[in-house]
Structure 1
Amino acid sequence: MFKSLHPNIRIRIYTSFMSRMIGSMIFPFMAVYFVREMNATIAGVLMMINVIIQFLASLYGGHLADRIGRKRMMVLGEAAKMIAFIGMVLANMPGFTSAIITFAMLMVISVASGMIMPAQEAMLIDVSTQETRAYMYAINYWANNLAMMIGLTIGGWLFQDYMFQLLIGLAVMSLATLAVTAGFIQETYTVSSMSGEKNNLGLKSLFASYRSVSKDTAFLLFVLGGIAILSLEFQRSNYLTVRMEKDISEMGLSLFGFSFSIDGLRLVSLLTVENTLLIVLFTGVVTKLIKGHNERLVMYAGFILFGAGFIIMAVSNNPFILAAAVLILSVGELMYVPTRQSMLADMVDDTRRGTYMAFHGFVFQFGKLIGAGGIIMGEAVGKYGMGLSYIVLTLLGILFCEMARRQRQVSIMPTSTKEKELI
């Protein structure tokens, strides 16, 4: 079935896999680099600025993707990234290191990535069908997780001593990605010169575009549902990590004849590896099992399993129960991610896909915010209170998504049909 996907989809999966794999050897460890070259406070501030800049760039990038086309945005973004990667190489040569130049190049990369993402997401929707989207997103999700697992594993061993060589590899891969994108990706959206849209590139047009999206009630409800579910995901690196580090003391375990000691932080690391491995190994299996079933029901079942796993993680200290919880939430994740992405594609306005996909970025930003707030909330309500809050978030995710679906159905229903429904 993979060969039946549009060439744009297959090319983007290949290039994203390679870029993400090499990028995962470097970017997750950049905070360590800045702490080493500056200090922890400055490093934290710089990384926060980086996230904000990338998000703001994605908002403008989504607007431009609907004004000048998907491919042009992707080529411009990839070219900027390649130049920035070369700059990072030059700023970290043997005998010369500049953290300031490195951060400046990182900012350029964040802006370029923010500009690329909405265009890429819109392009994937442009060239896929309702029948192939769940499969496309499942394969893309699998490839991204496999790339990150390989990249993080290699980067953890090589980053400290071979950062310069890794940056060279990333620059070469960026050049290859640019060449492939410019040479083989097909434009999927052309703005008519008669519409005047090509000239509407300023802030006034930007605000008008997002103002219209903000009036789409169904889409806003769907975004709220996504925020509720993604808030659970970001608990893993916030409250749950803090809780396990505090509540789980070092203990001895015996597994398959091997004895070893483990504490809370090591357990968090192992559970993260388990989740990634399950995603990589069982994406194909779960995708086949859910194929042909009602996507909406599969998504809601995935939400429930995902939430149930996090609820167990909020209250249990038993390593084996926690491992079972990760298994449960991983199955839920495999069920809801592709189906929710497919439902998202049906929610957006076909004429403004770039803008809609950029606006959807609020899901991740607010999810991160609520995830970080879980640390403060956990201190106030304790682990059982947090478990209860996870139940609420799961139910809100289902409620908002169902309200969004019904609202969208009403908005597209012919007037005569609405009158019959009212009668």
Structure 2
Amino acid sequence: MKFNDLHPNIKIRIMTEFFTDITQMAILPFMAIYFSSYVGAGLAGILLMINILLSIMVGLYSGFLADRIGRKKMLISAQAIQIFALLVMTVVNSPWLTSVWITYAMFIVSNISSSLIGPAASAMIIDVSTEKERPYIYGLGYWTGNIAIALGALLGGLFFEKYKMMLFVMFLFVSIVTLFIIIFFIKETFTFTRDKSETKPSIKTGLIRNYLNVLNDRGFMLFIVATICIMSLEFQLDKYVAVRLKEQFEAELFTFTITGVNMFSIIMLINTITIVFATLQLSKWLGQFNAKKVLTIGLLIYSISFTSFAYSNSFSLLILAAFFFTFGELMYSPIRQTILASIVNEQRRASYMAVDNLAYHVATLIGSIGLSLGALLPSEGMALLYLGLGLCGLVCYRIALSMKEEKEVRVDTQKESVL
């Protein structure tokens, strides 16, 4: 499999998302600091929580809409909204004008735009890819995404404080170019067809009916529960794990003292470097093995590594855990995306992807709760909790996969009986 063999839509999305992620990550992670400096940490936290809730609601509506009007129209509309929001944010963060409240309003609009884009873009990739291509596509997307995040965070760390307007201009420029590319080079991949005997429901009724059908898909919902369990572990890394290391860890290496903050930085550095240099090679090698077994082994490695992060104060063990945690992540993440693409309903792909996006928001909230739990439970207790979450996620994934396999067998049997 080569990049040039992919559908043009997929190649365009991978390239545009790479530059979008760079400029986005140079701004978004630093907005909490920005708002805190103007309105205080307490109010800033509430404002960001409101933003998350709005993004969840818009994301669900976006999935429903993308399954009705098509992927391209959603992408064009959302990208135009993004450009408007960034243009205003650039103006109100210039040397001539500063307004934190207009910035916040446009920050919400910008995040709404991203929520509108997500399900449509994810569904479009499934529309034009085959099951054989998807491990490569998701592995490549995972690799480029992590490089973009690292580059964006570096740019933000260097320039956000003094040159935030320049970063907004960069993001605006990338968004304008992306809109141009979508309009002239992206092809529509989905056309909604309604049964002629079916009456057209209201938007509210159609939305509710649509997501009730998704929620009734037991295999998919088990998959979502598994995703929440596993992703809530990942969101612990920069919360409970970072705080615990800061408070409990200190080690001597030769003549250097390594603090908990230093140790956390080392873990993140190992994670980033390993992803950059090992993702494509590992994905290609793992492609020859059974996906279910790769997923199982990857999640076991991932979960056990996190238990080490929760309680260990050994420098060497934490270094090993950082490598194994990354390899576990590289094993399960692209496979998870590939399996997800194969279990969603063909006529509701964007809606299914919207629910999958919702799982990430729920996992984020659980990650925040984990920080509070860490103040009540000893590190050994948190380690057991992490192991439990990992095993729960693994079991749910395996059951969901078994249900998918049983369904495929039933469909094949029915086809044979018809013939």
State the TM bucket, normalised to the shorter chain. over 0.9
SS of the residue corresponding to residue 262 of structure 1 reads strand
- Asked if the contact 1:81–1:112 (Cα under 8 Å) also holds between the matched residues in 2, the reply is yes
Q: 1:416 to 1:338 in 2, by over 3 A?
A: closer
Residue 348 of structure 1 pairs with residue 344 of structure 2: yes
Residue 253 of structure 1 pairs with residue 245 of structure 2: no
Deviation at 1:92, TM superposition (A): 0.8
Aligned to 1:118: 119
CA distance, structure 2, for counterparts of residue 209 and residue 26 of structure 1: 35
Matches within 5 A, 1:389-404: 389-404=385-400
Provide runs of 4+ in structure 1 moved above 4 Å: 193-201, 415-418
SS of the residue corresponding to residue 190 of structure 1 reads coil
- Asked if the contact 1:62–1:356 (Cα under 8 Å) also holds between the matched residues in 2, the reply is yes
CA distance, structure 1, for counterparts of residue 183 and residue 141 of structure 2: 21
CA distance, structure 1, for counterparts of residue 196 and residue 184 of structure 2: 28
Deviation at 1:387, TM superposition (A): 1.4
CA distance, structure 2, for counterparts of residue 293 and residue 391 of structure 1: 25
Deviation at 1:235, TM superposition (A): 1.2
CA distance, structure 2, for counterparts of residue 128 and residue 374 of structure 1: 37
Deviation at 1:386, TM superposition (A): 1.5
- Asked if the contact 1:67–1:201 (Cα under 8 Å) also holds between the matched residues in 2, the reply is no
Superposition CA RMSD, Å: 1.9
Indicate the larger mover: 131-140 or 318-327. Answer: 318-327
Matches within 5 A, 1:119-268: 119-192=120-193, 202-249=203-250, 251-254=251-254, 260-268=256-264
Deviation at 1:195, TM superposition (A): 5.2
Deviation at 1:164, TM superposition (A): 0.8
SS of the residue corresponding to residue 380 of structure 1 reads coil
- Asked if the contact 2:59–2:358 (Cα under 8 Å) also holds between the matched residues in 1, the reply is no
Aligned to 1:421: none
CA distance, structure 1, for counterparts of residue 122 and residue 294 of structure 2: 22
Segments of structure 1 that go 5 or more residues without pairing to the other structure are 419-423
CA distance, structure 2, for counterparts of residue 82 and residue 199 of structure 1: 33
- Asked if the contact 2:306–2:387 (Cα under 8 Å) also holds between the matched residues in 1, the reply is no
Deviation at 1:194, TM superposition (A): 6.6
Indicate the larger mover: 67-76 or 33-42. Answer: 33-42
SS of the residue corresponding to residue 292 of structure 1 reads coil
CA distance, structure 2, for counterparts of residue 315 and residue 58 of structure 1: 36
Deviation at 1:260, TM superposition (A): 4.2
Paired letter, 1:229: I
Q: Percent identity?
A: 36
CA distance, structure 1, for counterparts of residue 261 and residue 328 of structure 2: 24
Deviation at 1:412, TM superposition (A): 4.1
SS of the residue corresponding to residue 238 of structure 2 reads coil
Residue 279 of structure 1 pairs with residue 279 of structure 2: no
Paired letter, 1:185: I
Paired letter, 1:287: S
Paired letter, 1:55: I
CA distance, structure 1, for counterparts of residue 286 and residue 354 of structure 2: 28
1:79-123 deviation line (CA, Å, top 9, x unaligned): 100111001011111031000110111111111111110000100
TM-score (structure 1 length as normaliser): 0.93
Of 307, 310, 313, 1:314 maps to 310
Aligned to 1:31: 32
CA distance, structure 2, for counterparts of residue 272 and residue 201 of structure 1: 48
1:219-251 deviation line (CA, Å, top 9, x unaligned): 1111111111112111112211121111114x5
Aligned to 1:371: 367
- Asked if the contact 1:67–1:198 (Cα under 8 Å) also holds between the matched residues in 2, the reply is no
Question: For this pair of structures, how many residues does the alignment match?
Answer: 413
CA distance, structure 1, for counterparts of residue 337 and residue 259 of structure 2: 36
SS of the residue corresponding to residue 376 of structure 2 reads helix
- Asked if the contact 1:68–1:198 (Cα under 8 Å) also holds between the matched residues in 2, the reply is no
Q: 1:315 to 1:196 in 2, by over 3 A?
A: farther
1:378-398 deviation line (CA, Å, top 9, x unaligned): 333311111112221221112
Residue 3 of structure 1 pairs with residue 4 of structure 2: yes
1:15-63 deviation line (CA, Å, top 9, x unaligned): 0000110111111101111112221112111111111111111100000
1:132-175 deviation line (CA, Å, top 9, x unaligned): 10110000010010001011112101111110111111111110
- Asked if the contact 1:223–1:362 (Cα under 8 Å) also holds between the matched residues in 2, the reply is no
- Asked if the contact 2:301–2:325 (Cα under 8 Å) also holds between the matched residues in 1, the reply is yes
Q: 1:195 to 1:144 in 2, by over 3 A?
A: farther
SS of the residue corresponding to residue 187 of structure 1 reads coil
Aligned to 2:59: 58
Paired letter, 1:376: S
SS of the residue corresponding to residue 253 of structure 2 reads strand
CA distance, structure 1, for counterparts of residue 214 and residue 224 of structure 2: 11
CA distance, structure 2, for counterparts of residue 198 and residue 66 of structure 1: 17
CA distance, structure 2, for counterparts of residue 15 and residue 201 of structure 1: 35
Deviation at 1:366, TM superposition (A): 2.2
Of 355, 362, 385, 2:358 maps to 362
Q: 1:10 to 1:300 in 2, by over 3 A?
A: same
Residue 79 of structure 1 pairs with residue 80 of structure 2: yes
CA distance, structure 1, for counterparts of residue 202 and residue 300 of structure 2: 42
CA distance, structure 1, for counterparts of residue 206 and residue 309 of structure 2: 46
Paired letter, 1:8: N
CA distance, structure 2, for counterparts of residue 354 and residue 165 of structure 1: 34
Q: 1:92 to 1:415 in 2, by over 3 A?
A: closer
TM-score (structure 2 length as normaliser): 0.94
Deviation at 1:191, TM superposition (A): 1.5
Of 286, 290, 296, 1:300 maps to 296
